[in-house]
Amino acid sequence: MRSSLSRRQFFGLGTSLLVAACGNRALARGPHDAPATAQVDDGDAAPSPVQQASCGGVTADNIEGPFYKRGAPHRAVLAERDMPGEPLVLLGSVRSTGCTPIAGAELDLWHANTAGDYDHAGFGLRGVLETTRDGLWQVRTIVPGRYLNGRRYRPAHIHVKLRAPGHAPLTTQLYFAGDPYNAHDDFIVPSLIMRHTAKDGVRRAMFDFVLAAT
């Protein structure tokens, strides 16, 4: 992800990408061992930044959750061949509050598989990547599943840690518009909900991060 790509080129990559999946690895379930397959609503809006057009607002933080694992491989394809699930292309930018692109920002991403399970034995659906010199990033994976947290399912979400020199680190989660479990989740932040579309069997979503300077 070190080469320079325009935003138009980034979007153009989405529908032609094949996503892959994790081989036989031990998985750790979410709370209460109760997975659910994520179903998200297509909606009629194209992927777009979520209420951050001015770059003035720092991206909200969110809980880390219990399943973070250090040492994920550096890669932009989180899923491997033949893994069940809906292919997902997730892309965006990392910028300062003044809208300046942040090159070389590190994104550490992880999420559950379509059954709501996290890989604890290996690094399935986990990866670290850096933004391009234009502050752009893209990953290919699958839409995550849901799992019970207490008596309620958590909505589908993707965990992200961001680090960039001269900026405060950020730990947050990204959610999907239209998920029926968004409304009653105890942890969701509205500004972290992504719009998304589906075409040719691939779902696409976009999110622009804004980091605070230190």
Please, where are the H alpha helices in the chain? 7-13
Q: Which pLDDT score is estimated for 56?
A: 67
Report yes or no on 28 lying in a domain: yes
Report yes or no on 2 lying in a domain: no
Q: pTM of the predicted model, to two decimals?
A: 0.77
Beta bridge partners of 96: 211
Handedness of CA 184, 205, 61, 210 (dihedral sign): negative
Report yes or no on 153 lying in a domain: yes
Report yes or no on 1 lying in a domain: no
Report yes or no on 46 lying in a domain: yes
Task: Return the closest-CA partner of residue 30 out of 159, 163, 211, 138.
Answer: 159
> CATH code at 105?
2.60.130.10
SS3 158: strand
> What is the span of the domain harbouring residue 146?
7-211
Domains: count for the chain? 1
Taking 3-state DSSP, the helix, strand and coil percentages for the chain, each rounded to the nearest 5, stand at 5, 35, 55
Please state, in angstroms and rounded to a whole number, the distance separating the CA atoms of residues 30 and 153: 10
CB distance 14 to 89 below 8 Å: yes
Report yes or no on 138 lying in a domain: yes
- Scanning the structure block, which residue is given the tokens 């991060």? 209
Q: Which pLDDT score is estimated for 209?
A: 98
Report yes or no on 156 lying in a domain: yes
Could you say which residues of the chain have pLDDT below 50? 1-53
Q: Which pLDDT score is estimated for 163?
A: 98
